[in-house]
């Protein structure tokens, strides 16, 4: 099952409402995924890199962050949100911070890295997860959310979407891939690293690899149609882009709405009914094996 939502704003008009609109969309998809939820929000720009860290609690996160600050003789700008904290770090310090956390604070995970992207995910009902992180209060240009109904693996935060394998890149997935083990091995040979055994993380890694090799988001998704086997509806975000693709069989549901102000995605139309101007939006079902991509300049 699982539910996906995405909202991509074409201009600044609705930016202050991005989080509140996305949180309503996410809550509507509870019926499709009540086990865990997660979302990525592309918000304010940082000078370096924003790292979203997740820990067992604020005390553990604070301890880890002050440890890194001490070790690197730096002070970070921090935003605490429940089990996650976003720190803004100098880009050149990212690798050292990751290495220090891995050795000294193994209970703290780096969920995402990006100039603008932050990712939050937790176990629980989507509305409760959105509230814990105050999604409704967030602003930005685009966001992607996922509600999970666990079928193949345990209900854990690590199994929750979105997955991120590159700076400002994230992916949510409805479906399952059958060649992810082979693809993971191939991508590891290309130097990518994976935090889980999850199939969706492989799809995210595949796109990161393609884009690293020079493909556009559109091109990367087009090649995924022949390289990834299984069934999938993907919604993908990059720093300035937003894209949707469904497998050639169109196993998983998808509805889109477009107006002058936004492009919205929902697993079902129900997720979109709260959007402003939806009654006059162009509502359509994305065709199978066709990449839909938007880029904001």
Question: What angle separates helix 199-212 from helix 180-189, to the nearest 10 degrees?
Answer: 40
Catalytic residue IDs: 2
Q: Which chain residues interact with another protein by CB under 8 A? A: 249-250, 253, 255, 268-273, 279, 283-285, 287-288
Kindly state the helix (H) or strand (E) to which residue 207 belongs, with its residue range.
helix 199-212
User: In the bound complex, what is the minimum distance in angstroms from residue 277's beta carbon to another protein?
Assistant: 14
- In the bound state with another protein, the residue whose beta carbon lies nearer, of 115 and 290, is 290
- In the bound state with another protein, the residue whose beta carbon lies nearer, of 137 and 248, is 248
**Residues belonging to the chain:** 297
Residue with tokens 């929750």: 160
Quick check: 215 and 206 in contact, CB under 8 A? no
User: In the bound complex, what is the minimum distance in angstroms from residue 285's beta carbon to another protein?
Assistant: 5
- In the bound state with another protein, the residue whose beta carbon lies nearer, of 192 and 272, is 272
Distances (CA, A) of 172 to 80, 127, 189, 241, 279: 24, 18, 24, 14, 27
Please name every residue paired with 41 in a beta bridge, in sequence order, or none if there are none.
118, 143
User: In the bound complex, what is the minimum distance in angstroms from residue 161's beta carbon to another protein?
Assistant: 22
- In the bound state with another protein, the residue whose beta carbon lies nearer, of 28 and 208, is 28
User: In the bound complex, what is the minimum distance in angstroms from residue 126's beta carbon to another protein?
Assistant: 17
Residue 293's nearest CA partner among 90, 6, 4, 37 is 6
């Amino acid at each position: 099952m699982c539910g996906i939502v995405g909202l991509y704003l074409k201009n600044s008009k609705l930016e202050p409402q991005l989080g509140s609109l996305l949180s309503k969309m996410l809550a509507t998809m509870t019926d499709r995924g009540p086990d865990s939820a997660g979302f990525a929000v592309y918000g304010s720009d940082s000078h370096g890199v924003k790292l979203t860290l997740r820990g067992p609690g604020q005390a553990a996160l604070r301890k880890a962050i002050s440890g890194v600050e001490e070790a690197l003789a730096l002070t970070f700008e921090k935003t605490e949100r429940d089990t996650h904290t976003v720190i803004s770090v100098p880009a050149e310090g990212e690798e050292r911070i990751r290495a220090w956390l891995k050795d000294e604070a193994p209970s703290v995970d780096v969920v995402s890295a990006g100039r603008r992207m932050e990712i939050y995910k937790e176990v629980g009902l989507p509305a409760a997860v959105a509230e814990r992180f105050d999604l409704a209060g967030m602003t930005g240009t685009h966001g992607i959310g996922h509600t999970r109904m666990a079928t193949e693996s345990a209900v854990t935060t690590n199994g929750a979407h979105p997955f991120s394998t590159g700076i400002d890149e994230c992916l949510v997935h409805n479906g399952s891939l059958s060649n992810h083990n082979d693809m993971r091995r191939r991508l590891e040979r290309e130097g990518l690293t994976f935090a889980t055994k999850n199939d969706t993380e492989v799809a995210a890694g595949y796109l990161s690899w393609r884009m690293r090799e020079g493909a556009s988001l559109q091109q990367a998704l087009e090649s995924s149609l022949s390289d990834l086997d299984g069934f999938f509806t993907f919604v993908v975000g990059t720093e300035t882009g937003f894209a949707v693709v469904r497998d050639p069989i169109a196993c998983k549901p998808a509805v889109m709405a477009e107006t002058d102000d936004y492009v919205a995605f929902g697993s079902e139309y129900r997720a979109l009914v709260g959007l402003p101007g939806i009654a006059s939006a162009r509502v359509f079902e994305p065709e199978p094996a066709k990449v839909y991509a938007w880029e904001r300049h």
